[in-house]
Structure 1
Amino acid sequence: MININTLTATELSEKLNQKTPLFLLDVREPNEVAICAIAGATHIPMNLIPLYLDQIPDEIDIVIYCHHGVRSLNVANYLAENGFETQHLYNLSGGIDAWALTVDKLMPRY
């Protein structure tokens, strides 16, 4: 089992506020993104990740999120198995739902 780093929604918010260079990757389905999204995220649905590996930078931290953090963890493991450095991979703990509960309380939840 690959050890993937996790970030809480609060930690991610702090990194974004500090303008820390990172690649925010939303792996949810288009119908989910239509409900809510974190500003600045790149949307690549989980099932399309293999087709877009070349569009994911490998030299900066990558924060991956989905609804609750399960799909994003699977994507993080997939990226690690495909040559991405694990020290640059982060799974958003609790996903966008945790973000809506702790950071952006006006964000729609589903």
Structure 2
Amino acid sequence: MLDPEINAQALVLQLKQTDPPLLLDVREKWEFDTAHIDNSLLMPMGDVPSRAHAEIDPDEPIVVICHHGARSLNVTMWLRAQGFEHVQSLAGGIDGWSRSVDPSVPRY
């Protein structure tokens, strides 16, 4: 199974592939509105149990994103327990992404 976390530089490479992972942002709407990676799906952490099976393909690669990486890692482990085998958490979250990949993404 994949490592539970992926760093921002590795995600950049995956996003350049012909079949990039789904970016699943589990922060609250106000956080997403403040800063997000384009083409991310907003699904606040509290909504994941009721929405995941209906809206996400368990066979597709998924990278879960939050502010610093704690919530996304929790969601990653929950999704794996539900049979989503190709899911990873973005280490450092959107804050790390802003610091190391795209400084145009606001930090908060």
Fold match by TM threshold 0.5:
yes
TM-superposed CA distance for 1:11, in Å, is: 1.0
Query: 2:31: which partner in 1?
Result: 32
Counterparts of 2:72 and 2:5, CA distance in 1: 11
Counterparts of 2:47 and 2:60, CA distance in 1: 21
AA at the equivalent of 2:79: L
Query: 2:74: which partner in 1?
Result: 74
Query: 1:83: which partner in 2?
Result: 83
Counterparts of 1:82 and 1:6, CA distance in 2: 17
Query: 2:44: which partner in 1?
Result: 45
Percent identity for Structure 1 against Structure 2 = 42
* Structure 1 residues 17-60: Cα deviation after superposition (integer angstroms, max 9, x where no partner): 23333111000001101111101110000000011022111111
Q: Count matched residues.
A: 106
Counterparts of 1:69 and 1:95, CA distance in 2: 4
Contact 1:68 / 1:94 at 8 angstroms: preserved in 2? yes
Query: 1:23: which partner in 2?
Result: 22
Counterparts of 2:67 and 2:88, CA distance in 1: 15
AA at the equivalent of 1:62: I
AA at the equivalent of 1:52: R
Counterparts of 1:68 and 1:45, CA distance in 2: 15
Point out where structure 1 has 5 or more consecutive residues left out of the alignment.
none
- Which TM-score applies when normalising by structure 2? 0.91
**In structure 1, which of residues 65, 78, 102 is the aligned counterpart of residue 100 of structure 2?**
102
* Structure 1 residues 60-91: Cα deviation after superposition (integer angstroms, max 9, x where no partner): 11100100000001101111122222xx0111
Counterparts of 1:59 and 1:7, CA distance in 2: 18
Task: Say what the alpha-carbon RMSD is for the aligned residues.
Answer: 1.4
Contact 1:24 / 1:63 at 8 angstroms: preserved in 2? yes
